[in-house]
C-alpha cells in the first residue's frame, strides 16, 4: 500500500498526558456492548476488514468494531492526535510515522505479550529501527508485508520474445524493444505523487548506501553525493512512459494496465487485486526491478505494509488485544494475504499465489531489503519533491533541495 506521511508530525505535537487520558476511540454502546474503533490507512482492504470484523463480532457478541478508513487517512490521524481523539486499534504502515507515534508514547508496548513470538524476527527488527535505540519496546505487531515490483503482462512479454530481466541493461533493453514495437513500456501514474516512490525505493535500496539515513543524520552522507545515480535512473525510466505521465493517477493506471495499455507497471503487490478486478483474465507476473548489472546485488524491496497496534490510552485494552489476537490467528492471517495479494509477517503463513512466483525466491533466499523512505524524516514530503523533480528534471537542483528539506525537518 502507498504510505502517505503525516506532514510535520513530531513528538512534541502529539505527546502529553492529556492525549493519553483523552482518547476518543471506543466506548460502551447503549446496548451494553463494548464499541471499538479500528482505524485503517488502506482503502484497498476495506472489504477484507469488513468480513474479518463480521467474523470477530460473531465470535465476540459483546464487542462491536467500527471500521474507519478515510481518504488521506494519515492526515486525518494527525488532526485527531491534536484533538486528543485516538482510535482504539490501528492498522497502519510500518513507516516513519509509526516511529514518531511510538517514540511519543502514544502506542501500547507489546514487549511482554506472547503474540510477539508469532512474528518473523526480521520484520520486528525492521520496525524496531523505525523507533530507534532511545526507546525500547515493541509498539506494533507486523501483520502484512509488501513488495515493490515490476508487474508485467506475460502475454506481451511473449509477443516481444523477452524474458524476465536480471540486470538493469536487460530491463532497459526490454523497454526499448517494447517502445520500438509501438507499445507503452511502462505506465506511470505520477499525478499521485506517492506512486513515484515505487521506482524510487526500488532504485535507492539497491544503488544508494543501506545506512544512508543514519549517516545523513550524522552529517556523513548527502543526497548530492549518494543519490545521483538514483536520480538519473529515475529520469531514464521516465523516457519509457506514455504521453501523460503526470496526468494519470493510481486508479487510472490499474485500469489502463488491466486493459493492456502497457507492457509493465511499476507498483506494489497491493495493486494486483485492483488490476484483476478490472480484468480477471489478465495473465500477470512480477519481478524485482534489477537496478544494477550484477544479478547477485539486486534485492527486492519489502517492508511492513500493515502493523496492528492499540492506543496506550484506550478505555478497552483487553478487547483491543482480543481483536489483534484474532487477526493473528493463522486462518485469518492467511485470508488477509490471499485477498490482498500480500505477504504475511506471521510465522508459518505463506503466500501461494502463482502470480508471485517471480519474487518467491527473494523471500526464500533473503534477497530482500527495506524501503529507504521509511527511514526518511516524517513530514519531509519526499514524494512531492520527487514528483517536482520528474517534472523539472534538474538533478543538481533537486538533490540540493531534498538535502535541505531533510535537514530542515530534522532540526525542528
Q: Are residues 342 and 267 in the same domain?
A: no
Provide the domain limits for residue 69: 11-145+303-361
Per 3-state DSSP, the chain is made up of helix, strand and coil in percentages (nearest 5) of 50, 15, 35
Which range (10-14, 75-79, 379-383) has the least confidence?
10-14
Instruction: Read off the CATH number of the domain in which 392 is found.
Output: 3.40.190.10
Going by the DSSP 8-state scheme, the letter that residue 91 receives in this structure is E
The count of domains in the chain is 2
Q: Quick one: 237 and 127 in the same domain?
A: no
pLDDT digits (tens, 9 = 90+) for 136-175: 899 999 999 999 999 999 999 999 999 999 999 999 999 9
- DSSP element (H, E) containing 276: helix 271-278
| Measured distance CA(25)–CA(108) in Å, rounded | 14
Share of the chain above pLDDT 70, in %: 93
Q: Based on the domain organization, do 328 and 351 belong to the same domain?
A: yes
- Using CA atoms, how far apart are residues 50 and 48, in angstroms rounded to an integer? 5
**Partners of 87 in beta bridges:** none
Q: Is residue 2 part of a domain?
A: no
Q: pLDDT for 49-69, tens place per residue?
A: 999 999 999 999 999 999 999
Q: Does residue 84 come out as left (phi exceeding 0), alpha (psi in the -120 to 50 range) or beta?
A: left
403 and 260 housed in the same domain: yes
Taking a C-beta distance cutoff of 8 angstroms, is the pair 275, 258 a contact?
yes
Domain membership of residue 369 (yes or no) is: no
Task: Round to whole Å and give the CA distance between 123 and 120.
Answer: 6
Q: State how far the alpha carbon of 291 is from the alpha carbons of 71, 96, 219, 287, 374, in Å.
A: 33, 25, 26, 12, 19
Q: In this structure, are 132 and 157 located in the same domain?
A: no
Residue 1: inside a domain = no
**Whether 318 and 248 share a structural domain:** no
367 occurs within a structural domain: no
Amino acid at each position: 500500500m502507498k504510505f502517505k506521511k503525516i506532514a510535520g508530525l513530531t513528538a512534541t505535537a502529539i505527546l502529553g498526558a492529556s492525549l493519553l487520558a483523552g482518547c476518543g476511540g471506543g466506548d460502551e454502546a447503549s446496548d451494553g456492548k463494548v464499541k471499538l474503533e479500528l482505524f485503517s490507512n488502506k482503502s484497498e482492504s476495506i472489504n477484507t476488514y469488513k468480513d474479518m470484523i463480521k467474523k470477530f463480532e460473531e465470535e465476540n457478541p459483546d464487542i462491536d468494531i467500527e471500521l474507519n478508513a478515510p481518504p488521506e487517512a494519515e492526515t486525518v490521524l494527525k488532526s485527531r492526535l491534536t484533538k486528543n481523539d485516538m482510535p482504539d486499534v490501528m492498522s497502519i504502515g510500518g513507516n516513519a510515522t509509526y516511529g514518531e507515534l511510538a517514540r511519543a508514547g502514544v502506542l501500547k508496548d507489546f514487549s511482554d505479550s506472547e503474540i510477539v513470538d508469532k512474528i518473523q524476527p526480521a520484520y520486528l527488527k525492521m520496525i524496531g529501527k523505525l523507533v530507534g535505540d532511545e526507546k525500547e519496546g515493541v509498539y506494533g505487531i507486523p501483520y502484512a508485508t509488501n513488495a515493490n515490483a515490476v508487474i508485467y503482462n506475460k502475454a506481451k512479454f511473449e509477443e516481444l520474445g523477452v524474458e524476465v530481466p536480471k540486470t538493469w541493461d536487460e530491463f532497459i533493453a526490454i523497454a526499448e524493444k517494447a517502445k520500438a514495437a509501438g507499445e507503452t513500456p511502462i505506465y506511470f501514474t505520477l499525478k499521485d505523487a506517492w506512486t513515484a516512490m515505487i521506482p524510487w525505493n526500488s532504485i535507492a535500496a539497491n544503488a544508494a548506501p543501506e545506512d544512508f539515513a543514519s549517516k545523513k543524520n550524522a552529517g556523513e552522507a548527502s543526497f548530492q553525493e549518494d543519490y545521483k545515480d538514483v536520480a538519473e535512473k529515475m529520469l531514464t525510466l521516465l523516457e519509457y512512459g506514455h504521453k501523460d505521465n503526470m496526468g494519470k493517477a493510481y486508479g487510472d493506471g490499474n485500469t489502463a494496465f488491466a486493459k493492456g495499455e502497457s507492457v509493465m507497471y511499476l507498483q506494489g503487490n497491493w495493486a494486483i487485486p485492483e488490476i484483476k478486478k478490472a480484468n480477471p483474465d489478465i495473465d500477470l507476473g512480477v519481478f524485482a526491478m534489477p537496478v544494477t548489472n550484477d544479478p547477485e546485488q539486486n534485492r527486492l524491496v519489502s517492508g511492513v505494509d500493515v502493523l496492528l497496534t492499540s492506543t496506550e490510552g484506550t478505555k478497552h485494552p483487553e478487547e483491543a488485544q482480543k481483536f489483534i489476537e484474532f487477526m493473528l490467528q493463522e486462518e485469518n492471517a492467511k485470508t488477509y494475504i490471499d485477498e490482498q495479494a500480500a505477504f504475511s509477517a506471521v510465522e508459518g503463513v505463506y503466500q501461494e499465489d502463482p502470480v508471485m512466483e517471480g519474487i518467491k525466491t527473494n523471500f526464500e533466499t533473503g534477497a530482500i531489503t527495506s524501503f529507504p523512505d521509511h527511514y526518511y524524516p516524517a513530514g519531509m514530503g519526499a514524494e512531492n519533491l520527487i514528483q517536482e523533480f520528474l517534472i523539472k528534471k534538474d538533478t543538481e537542483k533537486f538533490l540540493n533541495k531534498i538535502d535541505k528539506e531533510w535537514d530542515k525537518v530534522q532540526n525542528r
